[in-house]
Structure 1
């Protein structure tokens, strides 16, 4: 049984070392900043949790690198429909719990996870599988609607929770895949118009509460004195406090914390970029973006050289996720994007997000390891 998960030396040589190192450095950078912005109030509580999830993620990374991704191809429907079932269970009172206004979490004992994180990966895998079976013929009407169906099923459930942030993530993942695979630009334009229409319908449907709407639109007028713009205002002050080299009070002898750690609500999750820019300044933000740059560049390179459509689409979907999540998360901390619950990949505190993101990158590394035929 364990031989199945043993990596041959010749496969190990094919691992993209830059991609792997960038992945691990980003996680460690995130753990450090989670500690720095929570230690004064919570001690080691959050960092212990993140370290445990990091260990689990490294185990999952190894497994998803060891098993040939073409073997996973046959099990994609089980993974996809399993994630849909979990999404539905999260909607059931008594099983699902409400977090930040959305019933999208399942808690078992002291363990909690967000099924939408799993569904996000399920969408990528299912669309990749179907496109491979279709030989990439995305512009055939039947094929297009089949792909839309598989994208829409989990997204509609996520919208109903309601979790607009994750809905946006899933939409832009699918958009990135469709665009890269050569979908007619007119169809993409129609899809964007449909998105606008869907947002208007959901916005006025009663699914979204007033405070959620104000939180979403607060970036348009941050000067308004409102509880929903408070977090953004504090984030901007914290980022400004960092300057070029950062304030770095967390490293001082008296154990004081940065402005963001003390004043930005939940700086370890959605607004961790503010804590990083405060602590390390512009330089720290550049280091973060450089690591992301290496990660994304390498994933794009693997997507281009994949031996099949299945592997290529997996890479494209995951790259699309990173690009949108990074842009959205950092954008909302500086007032350029609406405030949503989208976390900063590999950096923000959150177990299910870290685990699924590491698995996603592990799949990309897997695709890159098996670009060449290796004779055993």
Structure 2
């Protein structure tokens, strides 16, 4: 029964090794920095949990590399509606739990699962499947409404949690796919206007707590020294203290923690970039961006050479996710964009985020492996 999960050695040479190595280095870099910035207060707690999810992610990676990605095509509806059910379950007291003001997690006992992380992947898969069935005819009005339906359903439940950050991620994934597939730019402009309107409505609906609003608008007035700007100001100080080569890496067991580790809230999740810049300085930050650059370049290359629309759209969606998440996460730590709870892909602490991101890259590698016919 496990024969279908054996990877033929003749396919191994088709694996994009640069993409695979870049992904692994980013995960290791992130895990190491999670340890460095939390060991002073939490010891090995967070790094052990991250390693648990890393092992689970590598198992999933192997699974999604070995099976032909065209087989996934047939199971996309099951994955999509299964994720929608999980999103609904988060709203049921006793099943869904509240973390940082959002009821977006399911308690599994040994760990917590965040279904919205899976939502971004299944949206990509569903759009890829539908566009393949439509032969890429995205400007057909009937096709547009079908695609819009599958985008809106999970986002409604994500907004209900409320999780504005993940809603933005989903929106920009869809935007990237629609734009790349040649969607009418006038309608895209209308979609952006609709996003602004939706934000205004949600902003004034009472779903967003006052402290969440304060964090979101803090970047507009960083000079104000109060609770609303505390995260940002501490992050800026930490990044500045890193200099060129880093402040004082706490590489020994009893080594002193950096400024970021001691003063920046949520340092191992939302503000992991501040920890890296403080620990390793400008050089460490550039290394991170170089690895991301290599990763994105290889995904784009695979998208261009995919043998079908399904594979191309998957890669486009994943590139859109990475671009937005990287720019948003790093941008918020340096005060260029509002502060949202968007993780730095592969680097921030978070099991659901790591698992879904590795799975998405596994499917991307799969598309690249099978872009040309292999003669057995």
Runs of 4+ in 1 over 4 A off after TM superposition: none
Partner of 2:22: 22
Report the TM-score when normalising by structure 2: 0.99
For residues 71-112 of structure 1, the C-alpha deviation after alignment (integer angstroms, 9 at most, x for no partner) is 000000000000000000001111100111110000021310
Counterpart secondary structure, 2:250: helix
Q: What is the rounded CA distance, in whole Å, between the counterparts of 2:332 and 2:3 in structure 1?
A: 46
Partner of 2:290: 290
Following superposition, the deviation at residue 217 of structure 1 comes to 0.6
Counterpart secondary structure, 1:58: helix
Partner of 2:272: 272
Number of aligned residue pairs: give it.
Answer: 376
Partner of 1:375: 375
Query: Relative to 1, partners in 2 of residues 1:102 and 1:254: Cα closer, same or farther, differing over 3 Å?
Result: closer
For residues 206-253 of structure 1, the C-alpha deviation after alignment (integer angstroms, 9 at most, x for no partner) is 111111111111111122222221111110000000001111330368
For residues 110-151 of structure 1, the C-alpha deviation after alignment (integer angstroms, 9 at most, x for no partner) is 310100011110100000000000000000000011001100
Larger deviation, residues 221-230 vs 163-172: 221-230
Partner of 1:260: 260
Report the TM-score when normalising by structure 1: 0.99
Counterpart secondary structure, 1:76: helix
**What root-mean-square deviation, in Å, do the aligned CA atoms of Structure 1 and Structure 2 show?**
0.9
Q: What is the rounded CA distance, in whole Å, between the counterparts of 2:153 and 2:91 in structure 1?
A: 14
Q: What is the rounded CA distance, in whole Å, between the counterparts of 1:248 and 1:225 in structure 2?
A: 27
Partner of 2:5: 5
For 1:1-376, what aligned pairs fall within 5 Å after superposition?
A: 1-251=1-251, 255-376=255-376
**Structure 1 unaligned blocks of 5 or more:** none
Q: What is the rounded CA distance, in whole Å, between the counterparts of 1:36 and 1:212 in structure 2?
A: 28
For residues 142-197 of structure 1, the C-alpha deviation after alignment (integer angstroms, 9 at most, x for no partner) is 00110011000001111111100000000000000000000011110111111111
Q: What is the rounded CA distance, in whole Å, between the counterparts of 2:202 and 2:247 in structure 1?
A: 42
Q: What is the rounded CA distance, in whole Å, between the counterparts of 2:194 and 2:175 in structure 1?
A: 12
Following superposition, the deviation at residue 375 of structure 1 comes to 1.9
Counterpart secondary structure, 2:106: strand
Counterpart secondary structure, 1:250: coil
Counterpart secondary structure, 2:269: coil
Q: What is the rounded CA distance, in whole Å, between the counterparts of 1:297 and 1:60 in structure 2?
A: 23
8 Å Cα contact 2:90/2:104 also seen in 1: yes
**Structure 2 unaligned blocks of 5 or more:** none
Query: Relative to 1, partners in 2 of residues 1:93 and 1:254: Cα closer, same or farther, differing over 3 Å?
Result: closer
8 Å Cα contact 2:249/2:280 also seen in 1: no
